[in-house]
Structure 1
């Protein structure tokens, strides 16, 4: 979960403290999983600090009177001890007393906690988070108290790992700002597989899942006591390449991530160097290595990439076929003897070319959305030119359309093409003039996306009074007063764009056509 910015502001953290707390909350699942514990982050509420302490909060450890829980993480390796959300919960009096001591002395304390949970007696560790000598926050680590028993080795190792991480967190040495943040899916977790290494990269412990992963890679021996870099290198054939930083990851020297692929098995690794404070500074004494088999995940990603490439290729071929149809219509129009037949074929050619441009845009992207601004900039001017060759027409484009789903892009491009052609052919009627296209996106009262497109000309005017049509009214019978283009426009606006169209006279002269399209997909 993420931190609430208002809580961070109230705590008056110093430079870098906020970023470090975000890093901690991005990685504290590892501590929860290895400690088998629930973890809660508590921040001081400075509204409750005495004035003198409020003024010196940035210079020396303050003594807060009140804390607010700002974050919580539950373990994925065992059941949680908190079945209610702990964020914004008040701290019990007994726990508050211990937390205040920890804040002042900056030493970890433990207590048997009967207040925090209504159902369980908890063993709670209170850990101060110290950066640059200042206590900036407190972690409470909660585990359920059990009777005396001998824990298995894996549980003992996990608890040791958790304690190592806790000690680094306490002094602000982990998480590290230099650690790479992986954006690819499949980052390893404790439950996927955990190894512990010494300072030389020799395996001290490997969880059962790690042994299973390496068996799938082709290694059937014991991992413990062997150097992980050599084992992994011997499993890879010469034609299988790995990142040059992989040895640094597998030896635990750097807090990086890596991935290998051996035959059909892909494994990701994440190294967490373990450091202790010495007279020489932070000295590495070992590492934790998390690993995960991501073979199935990578296979699915490859399938998706293949499907995306196939879809783009289909759009490309459709575009080519439509351009061929357009060229055939152009050739046929040149052979027509009558002007009406020639004009009809040219209009069909223009409509086919418009659809082809949408498929061309779809063939160049990874999504089924079209950058309509880029497409309409070419189409708008071209539609005006083709509607009346040799006539001087100015075009103006205002506003932005943004990215539109392909199911809206094709009908909208056709509608704009027909209205622009109509404005040039009938509105300007051979005269020099300007056609203006304006786009505006907004939200309706139902929080649905709405696109308003207005096409204006300064010609002789086509209507004497406003006409608006939507839904079934757009399917009125044609009584011979309009051409095929306007029938196409009314039908597409009503059926494909889920909207309305309005014609109205424009002052001082000309016509304005306004289209309102609802861009909500079912």
Structure 2
């Protein structure tokens, strides 16, 4: 039954030949004896078809000791990040003995790996033995902690006693451990590569750390136990972390971690430059719009035919509404987003103020969440709101000098819904088409990809706008 499972997994996941599978099956028969004899869990891993991973094709737990694993692992994929010794043996054909490892269930084990070879000395799999040493480590740590807790910590971390580093060899940051005099005791591969980048030979790695990086001398001389600073080293920017072990009067050594953040800082600088440029563009657009508005006002003061005055006022309001977008951007911390509540309120108050100049008392009510939208959409929304409120001011209150306009907006899923409601005379289906409503329809359909509806209410008119907003739009 077990051998059938082995054959099934090999056929499904590997490129092994029939003769290779037969050899694996012969070894599988003896796995229980090997497990009992060594008081350890034993496994057979074979390389998968694509060569990047391995598959566990067989296992045996000892009856003479507790099993390392609570759950079976046959059929599970083994990844190189978690099983470096297995992949070393698969690639080189060399055995690895008593290598300390951490299982996926969190137990520390001594792991030994030997190659299984087929014809022509090909590596067709690995025989793995894992012995649980977690309790042994706990007892050992407790005993050592009674004498020298901090010294034990440093020795475990760098594996000084057994030359078996627990620190991941794949860590991207350059990590050094130096003794109290500053001499390098340990360096991970990233640290070794960093030294080689500055032109030093690997064989000379055990100099004082300051020999390689003079610019971090002040950090090493600082008596503080924990320091994080940015330092320029050979034209690049590094974040330097210093972690001193032991007590002030009896230091055990110091960890120095160097992280290259040059690219990160360069991108931040580019973003700052871009933000300043965008803000400057917004500022110029706002100034240009205000200049055009000033020219229109100047023309109106110099005199206009009565029939032309209304068109100048409407154009002036449209320009002012667009300018409001850029005024809000420039007054906020965002470089390209607009608070829609502030935008609608600013436009509404501006139009009501002009209505008051014509002896009309119009009250504005606003309701809705604070929501940020992109400035490109905000310009279209500003024009739509301007036209709808202006339409109310112009047509809804012919027979009265007082009225109320309400603007409600809300987000439903990823759609924005805006309602402009007045308590005026009410919209007539026979009303003559206006330029304002044509602008609204054009903006909503073409720029906002939304829908527009205007209808008579029980008292007054309701104009509804609905358009999609980006998923990343956020509440303020």
Instruction: Answer whether TM exceeds 0.5 for this pair.
Output: yes
Structure-2 change in CA distance of 1:298 and 1:161 (3 Å): farther
In structure 2, what is the equivalent of residue 266 of structure 1? 237
In structure 2, what is the equivalent of residue 226 of structure 1? 208
| Total equivalences in the alignment | 353
Deviation at 1:516, TM superposition (A): 0.8
Q: Is the 8 A contact 1:380 1:420 kept in 2?
A: yes
Q: Is the 8 A contact 1:463 1:511 kept in 2?
A: no
CA distance in 1, matches of 2:422, 2:349: 14
Q: Is the 8 A contact 2:215 2:232 kept in 1?
A: no
CA distance in 1, matches of 2:229, 2:131: 34
Residue 419 (str. 1) matches residue 401 (str. 2): no
Q: Is the 8 A contact 1:203 1:223 kept in 2?
A: yes
Which residues in structure 2 correspond to 1:510-521 (within 5 Å)?
510-520=460-470
SS of 1:190 mapped into structure 2: coil
Structure-2 change in CA distance of 1:371 and 1:336 (3 Å): same
Structure-2 change in CA distance of 1:521 and 1:230 (3 Å): closer
Deviation at 1:371, TM superposition (A): 1.7
CA distance in 1, matches of 2:464, 2:173: 58
Residue 452 (str. 1) matches residue 417 (str. 2): yes
Structure-2 change in CA distance of 1:159 and 1:321 (3 Å): farther
SS of 1:336 mapped into structure 2: coil
Gaps (5+ residues) in structure 2? 1-52, 54-67, 89-102, 115-123, 140-157
Deviation at 1:295, TM superposition (A): 2.7
Q: Is the 8 A contact 2:109 2:134 kept in 1?
A: no
Structure-2 change in CA distance of 1:99 and 1:78 (3 Å): closer
CA distance in 1, matches of 2:407, 2:161: 65
Of 210, 222, 225 in structure 1, the residue corresponding to residue 194 of structure 2 is: 210
In structure 2, what is the equivalent of residue 357 of structure 1? 324
Which residues in structure 2 correspond to 1:435-514 (within 5 Å)?
435-443=405-413, 449-463=414-428, 481-507=432-458, 509-514=459-464
In structure 1, what is the equivalent of residue 11 of structure 2? none
SS of 2:448 mapped into structure 1: coil
Deviation at 1:369, TM superposition (A): 2.2
Of 249, 256, 266 in structure 2, the residue corresponding to residue 289 of structure 1 is: 256
Deviation at 1:322, TM superposition (A): 0.7
Which residues in structure 2 correspond to 1:150-165 (within 5 Å)?
160=163, 162-163=165-166
Residue 385 (str. 1) matches residue 320 (str. 2): no
In structure 2, what is the equivalent of residue 110 of structure 1? 110
Of 360, 366, 377 in structure 2, the residue corresponding to residue 408 of structure 1 is: 377
Deviation at 1:383, TM superposition (A): 2.3
SS of 1:162 mapped into structure 2: coil
CA distance in 1, matches of 2:320, 2:407: 20
Structure-2 change in CA distance of 1:296 and 1:440 (3 Å): closer
CA distance in 2, matches of 1:314, 1:158: 63
CA distance in 2, matches of 1:321, 1:158: 74
CA deviation map 1:292-348 (0-9, x unaligned): 333344223312221121111111111111111111111111223322212211211
Residue 195 (str. 1) matches residue 176 (str. 2): yes
Q: Is the 8 A contact 1:383 1:420 kept in 2?
A: yes
Deviation at 1:396, TM superposition (A): 0.7
Gaps (5+ residues) in structure 1? 1-37, 39-63, 83-97, 134-154, 167-188, 236-243, 444-448, 466-479
Q: Is the 8 A contact 1:504 1:511 kept in 2?
A: yes
Deviation at 1:442, TM superposition (A): 1.0
Residue 328 (str. 1) matches residue 298 (str. 2): no
CA distance in 2, matches of 1:319, 1:496: 21
Structure-2 change in CA distance of 1:298 and 1:520 (3 Å): closer
CA RMSD of aligned residues (A): 4.7
CA deviation map 1:130-180 (0-9, x unaligned): xx99xxxxxxxxxxxxxxxxxxxxx988985833x69xxxxxxxxxxxxxx
Which residues in structure 2 correspond to 1:129-168 (within 5 Å)?
160=163, 162-163=165-166
Structure-2 change in CA distance of 1:230 and 1:215 (3 Å): closer
CA distance in 1, matches of 2:412, 2:276: 33
CA distance in 2, matches of 1:67, 1:379: 67
CA deviation map 1:207-248 (0-9, x unaligned): 3323246569xxx9967442539953488xxxxxxxx8x447
CA deviation map 1:84-120 (0-9, x unaligned): xxxxxxxxxxxxxx999x98xxxx5435589xxx954
Deviation at 1:481, TM superposition (A): 1.6
Q: Is the 8 A contact 1:269 1:291 kept in 2?
A: yes
In structure 2, what is the equivalent of residue 175 of structure 1? none
CA distance in 1, matches of 2:174, 2:131: 26
CA distance in 1, matches of 2:112, 2:455: 78
Structure-2 change in CA distance of 1:77 and 1:224 (3 Å): farther
SS of 1:300 mapped into structure 2: helix
Structure-2 change in CA distance of 1:500 and 1:119 (3 Å): farther
